Structure 1
């Protein structure tokens, strides 16, 4: 169970002696809680108490609660509402910090969803693992210990939502997963700028915000489907090419979506650097910006979707959160 790993936590976040109150651990499943079934497939089976015990944490240090047990690729907006409410409840009940374990497939999306509404000074730290609970050289134990120490560290109060992974403590905003299996796993796409003021969590459940990928010569059929009278989109995120561009046919479709009043954000499939929306033409970022499209900055398509959903639910101008 959680054997020692070669990934070593930053010394500044590897000690639990600075705890000044209980840390609340909330779990959602993911690889950190996975074991192999009879067919060799990874399945989230371990509970919050299992993780605490395997990491050698004491009940006086950490209280543990299971929220759900999922692969993070399956987490819905309704699940996110449940997670956000549970974190809020833990803080309201006196947690000095909160740790959330999560699968790595969408960890950065959930981290930003929390950060956009987190209005407390109490640290909230997400973590997970690239290797399963029963892997002989697992990384979950060190990641969990590092996250707990970071959540307990008074120096992290007021810093918003953070992610501890592979010995590094990173902000939620602008975070991307950069490798499918490397123990470092996550990094920042670039300078995301200052953290915007938190907004109210008004519930994301039911919002329809697709991410539509551009490719060279892409048409408008998937964009036009967002205007379907039976299942219209509440917002749209375009995973554009380069610094925020797409072919002219797709761009014309985006223009129609914007003309219909559907909030639209342009991100990019490029992992590093900001969207600039500088080019002209029907599919150029500058042309679509002039029609009302919002640039995602360094936020990935997934984080752009979460940001747009949060803004629409809270009834605020989406541009203010980018």
Structure 2
């Protein structure tokens, strides 16, 4: 398998090069070149796609945990440098890699998603690729994971990984997260599981995972679904599998798409009126996710504007800003022609609605999709 020339940024070399200088365990014995080649030939092949983010950044010093530069402008390092610096990776897979983007995930666009997804599908078609690891910023990691979960056309493992601390930080979490991601993507047990996120020794489903803390390393949680499993000594132990449709079982095809329909999120607070909703419609929104209060409740003025939007052909999804829980179809929603978000938080409901609108504008069909995905 051909190895690409770049993977991450120069910042990674600082912590990874330090790891590479650690002495080998005394129990390890030298392996002959012939035996080593035999071992490598028997390992799965994992492609690492780097997109930037904290895992590819550096701060001013070891205690700069939240003040650092993310990705852009830093010279990427070669894949071979990464492999040499973290020799543990070679125990799990033969590595290839490439730099897809090199920016913080808060700066990504839906066009970037399409580019990444098409590259993922292209690579997974190759019999010489057994799994993919995507390094990513944490800000929108859950969104990219869910998007890929709906449009990836393979049952091979796709694992997103990130870090909450930059590579230069004291107790940086990126190196071990990356080793676990490669081990997971290389595991036969990870097939048919959909797109996964591995952080902090926890394996999360793309559908259920969400970022819950702005800075803590234990930020990624699955409030409604629970974790799929855990990494222990770089071995995945699964306790559940996703039941929602994903990857090869979805009806979405982005292979010929150059853009996604515009879908906006209206965040409801006490005293909200319908002016923002009106502006969204005026500016070309094809769909609106209403992040209501509590059980998707909203002020009368918001409801009035949303109902008018439906009459103008905009698909409205009634969701909640709460962060967990289910919004099922009830009369107070269906009488206005709204779809309900089910267990999708607003940001993931937006992704599903964008893809749904590439297939249909029928609220009943879109409700079916929110039930199944």
Alignment TM-score, normalising by the size of structure 1 = 0.86
Please say if 1:303 is aligned against 2:348.
yes
* Larger mean Cα displacement after TM superposition, 216-225 or 262-271: 262-271
What is the alpha-carbon distance in structure 2 between the residues aligned to residue 28 and residue 145 of structure 1? 17
- Who is 1:22 aligned against? 45
- Indicate how the Cα distance of structure 1 residues 120 and 251 shifts in structure 2: closer, same or farther if over 3 A, else same: same
- Who is 1:42 aligned against? 69
How far the C-alpha of 1:235 sits from its partner, in A, is 0.9
Where do 1:247-262 residues align within 5 Å?
A: 247-262=299-314
Q: Secondary structure at the match of 2:342?
A: coil
- Who is 1:163 aligned against? 197
Question: Contact conserved, 2:59 with 2:169, CA < 8 A, in 1?
Answer: no
1:242 to 294, 302, 309: 294
How far the C-alpha of 1:227 sits from its partner, in A, is 2.3
Q: Secondary structure at the match of 1:69?
A: coil
Runs (5+) with no aligned partner, structure 2 = 1-14, 20-38, 227-241
What is the alpha-carbon distance in structure 1 between the residues aligned to residue 175 and residue 213 of structure 2? 20
Q: Secondary structure at the match of 1:210?
A: strand
Q: Secondary structure at the match of 2:50?
A: strand
Deviations 1:107-164 (A, max 9, x none): 0000000001223110101010000011121001111111111111111111111111
How far the C-alpha of 1:72 sits from its partner, in A, is 0.5
How far the C-alpha of 1:261 sits from its partner, in A, is 1.7
Please say if 1:267 is aligned against 2:319.
yes
What is the alpha-carbon distance in structure 2 between the residues aligned to residue 129 and residue 41 of structure 1? 13
Deviations 1:160-186 (A, max 9, x none): 111111100111002110111222221
Question: Contact conserved, 2:262 with 2:287, CA < 8 A, in 1?
Answer: yes
What is the alpha-carbon distance in structure 1 between the residues aligned to residue 60 and residue 109 of structure 2? 25
- Who is 1:13 aligned against? none
How far the C-alpha of 1:53 sits from its partner, in A, is 4.4
- Indicate how the Cα distance of structure 1 residues 152 and 293 shifts in structure 2: closer, same or farther if over 3 A, else same: same
What is the alpha-carbon distance in structure 1 between the residues aligned to residue 98 and residue 143 of structure 2? 21
- Who is 1:8 aligned against? none
What is the alpha-carbon distance in structure 2 between the residues aligned to residue 180 and residue 25 of structure 1? 26
Where do 1:122-137 residues align within 5 Å?
A: 122-137=156-171
Where do 1:145-164 residues align within 5 Å?
A: 145-164=179-198
How far the C-alpha of 1:226 sits from its partner, in A, is 2.4
Alignment TM-score, normalising by the size of structure 2 = 0.74
- Who is 1:119 aligned against? 153
- Indicate how the Cα distance of structure 1 residues 220 and 298 shifts in structure 2: closer, same or farther if over 3 A, else same: same
Question: Contact conserved, 1:274 with 1:296, CA < 8 A, in 2?
Answer: yes
Question: Contact conserved, 1:125 with 1:163, CA < 8 A, in 2?
Answer: yes
How far the C-alpha of 1:318 sits from its partner, in A, is 2.6
How far the C-alpha of 1:200 sits from its partner, in A, is 2.9
What is the alpha-carbon distance in structure 2 between the residues aligned to residue 131 and residue 194 of structure 1? 32
What is the alpha-carbon distance in structure 2 between the residues aligned to residue 302 and residue 48 of structure 1? 34
- Who is 2:229 aligned against? none
1:312 to 347, 357, 363: 357
Question: Contact conserved, 1:244 with 1:276, CA < 8 A, in 2?
Answer: no
Question: Contact conserved, 2:260 with 2:358, CA < 8 A, in 1?
Answer: no
Deviations 1:196-232 (A, max 9, x none): 231233236252111110011210001111221xx31
How far the C-alpha of 1:47 sits from its partner, in A, is 4.3
Question: Cα RMSD (Å) of the superposition?
Answer: 2.5
Where do 1:139-288 residues align within 5 Å?
A: 139-191=173-225, 194-196=243-245, 197-202=249-254, 203=257, 205-228=259-282, 231-276=283-328, 286-288=331-333
Which structure would you say has the larger Rg?
A: 2
